[in-house]
Chain A
Amino acid sequence: MTMVSAPLHSGHGFLTLDHVSVDFPIYEANARSLKARLAVIGSGGRIGITNTGGVSIEALQDISIDLRPGDRLALLGHNGAGKSTLLRVMAGIYEPVRGQVRHQGRVGSLFDLALGMEPDATGWENVMIRGLLAGMTRREVLARREEIGAFTDLGDYLSMPVRTYSSGMLLRLAFAVCTSSAPDILLMDEWLSVGDAAFVERAEARMQEIVDNAGIVVLASHSPELIARVCNRAMLLDHGKMVGVGPVAQMLELYRGAAPPLG
């Protein structure tokens, strides 16, 4: 994925997926071995494995969507439906095997609460780590330090090692840093559930701010209440395929009526 330098839409962010497909190769031990591969080549295929993989899982098939400022998209689907993979494709982590992803604007992603955190380092030190990982410079993080600290509402805990933190506290820290970088496109995997009611309320308010600033929010969640409150569009995924895109209520209904989870 790349930043499109020539603005297509008067300075606003956008996120477009055009017939995106993603396959994950499944390697057997031999296919990962250079020695095995060389034995095959060196012996003209007589020695060793002849089938070097070829097995792959289609994680996403032919996904297209066009997100514009103000769009708050919910990703719905059972475990393994492809929600997380789709979020990672939107974030530019996986470049699609087929199709294209284009975006404009700063992308903020929040997939793993403890990502990059040093358990023995303090909350403040981890604010710096996460800030740099979110694409800010050291100077930018320092400038926003106070504001980030205030939003976490963690007080003196920020001077404690984060290994003493609960998952709810990690969420506060991670969310505060991620959203303070003022992303135009905010991508979140389902974890908002670990926050307490008071924090979830503040988090929702901040997501609303991002949307009001001509931003885009994409949220994968299993919580119909959260989705109904936060989102105005929804996409239902099943086994990597797009079952439907539309208004939240309609998609939630389709989701409830959809086939039960795998197995």
Chain B
Amino acid sequence: MSATLPPAPSLARLAADDLRDGVLNPDLWLMLGWQDIRRRYRRSALGPFWLTLSMGAMIGGIGLVNSGLFNVGMGVLLPSMSLGIVVWTLISSSITDACMAFTGAEALIRQSRQPFSTYLLRLIWRNLIIFAHNMVIVVVVLAIWPPHGWWMLPLSLLGLALLLLNIGWICLLVGVVCTRFRDLPQIVTSVLQLLFFVTPIFWLPSQLAGLRKAIVDYNPLYHLLEVVRAPLLGAPVPALSWVWAVGMLVVGWALALYFFVSFRRRLPYWL
């Protein structure tokens, strides 16, 4: 019987098909992402705006305190802080959700055949919806303290695209490894929490001097944050941040694809 069968497609071919089939069938993950949001907020009138509201209150409160502590004007701190926390939330909740991307979709994976990439696109889309809600805060803050200019706005969209592509490989990698090792989600959460405090979100990178500057310069998430944030603040993006963002994109996807190609077919067995 085997003589009549053409040779089996390679693992790389199957992984590439998976990614392509997922991306090219947006109807499915758009729906799944929306359903996640609707399920979470079905009985609340404000929906995801509840999160926005509490985030806005937090930014107002911490902004007030920190601008006094650091002796920095609200007009300088708040735009940077609000953008920082909104973009950070997109990054960190995507990565946290990625830990559960496959284990949380166990029923769908075991009972129906879908590309695995569908579940990753679903979670990124879901977090983008929440991100869009939270951007209301940024709009309000920037209306009160406008940036020096809007001419760099398109650069910010380029930065956002770069950020999302980076989130893509991180989620793919985290999703695959967390399916195999079930204690990894806690480790990921701890690491994200640590990174949150060493990333200039509630404070300004310029406040660190000397050796401590390395905390910012070698923080990959800072650079991902900066390619979106700096242009919206009317500031030039540091060249170093572009290099980091693009470098991570290349190295990160290579790493994530290696794992995906090697272990994709094992995922249903690990559930």
Q: Shortest beta-carbon distance, A180 to chain B, in Å?
A: 16
A32-B182 contact, Cβ under 8 Å, with A16-B1, A18-B1, A94-B268: yes
**Selected A-B contacts with CB under 8 Å, 5 pairs:** A32-B180, A37-B181, A102-B5, A109-B113, A133-B108
Interface segment, one of A113-121, A146-154, A163-171, A242-250: A113-121
Taking residues whose C-beta sits less than 8 angstroms from the other chain, chain B's interface range is 35 or more
Whether A8 lies near B112 (C-beta < 8 A) is no
A202 within 8 A of B: no
User: Which 10 residue pairs are nearest across A and B when measured between Cβ atoms?
Assistant: A34-B181, A112-B111, A95-B265, A138-B27, A32-B182, A92-B113, A132-B28, A33-B183, A111-B111, A115-B111
Number of interface residues of A (CB under 8 A): 42
B25 within 8 A of A: yes
Separation of A8 and B1 alpha carbons in the complex (Å) = 13
19 A-B pairs besides A32-B180, A66-B1, A91-B113 with CB distance below 8 A are A2-B13, A2-B17, A32-B183, A33-B181, A35-B187, A93-B268, A111-B111, A111-B112, A115-B111, A121-B35, A128-B31, A129-B35, A132-B28, A132-B31, A133-B108, A134-B112, A135-B25, A137-B27, A138-B27
Residues of B with C-beta under 8 A to A4: 6
Separation of A8 and B108 alpha carbons in the complex (Å) = 31
A25 within 8 A of B: yes
The residue on B at minimum CB distance from A25 is B269
A137-B111 contact, Cβ under 8 Å, with A2-B17, A8-B4: no
Residues of B with C-beta under 8 A to A18: 1-2, 5
Separation of A182 and B42 alpha carbons in the complex (Å) = 34
A93-B113 contact, Cβ under 8 Å, with A34-B183, A133-B108: yes
Cβ < 8 Å to B, chain A residues 64-118: 64, 66, 88, 91-95, 100, 102, 107, 109, 111-112, 115-116, 118
Whether B183 lies near A2 (C-beta < 8 A) is no
Binding site for B on A (CB under 8 A): 1-2, 4, 6, 8, 16, 18-19, 24-25, 32-35, 37, 64, 66, 88, 91-95, 100, 102, 107, 109, 111-112, 115-116, 118, 120-121, 128-129, 132-135, 137-138
The residue on B at minimum CB distance from A139 is B27
A115-B108 contact, Cβ under 8 Å, with A34-B184, A37-B181, A137-B27: yes
Whether B5 lies near A100 (C-beta < 8 A) is yes
Residue among A24, A91, A116, A138 having the largest count of chain B Cβ atoms under 10 Å: A116
Whether B109 lies near A93 (C-beta < 8 A) is yes
Q: Mark B177-203, 1 if CB is under 8 A from A, else 0.
A: 100111110010000000000000000
Cβ < 8 Å to A, chain B residues 244-271: 265, 268-270
A115-B107 contact, Cβ under 8 Å, with A32-B182, A34-B183: yes
User: When the two chains form the complex, which single residue of A16, A24, A128 contacts B5, counting CB atoms closer than 8 Å?
Assistant: A16
Whether A100 lies near B28 (C-beta < 8 A) is no
Q: Shortest beta-carbon distance, A20 to chain B, in Å?
A: 11
B61 within 8 A of A: no
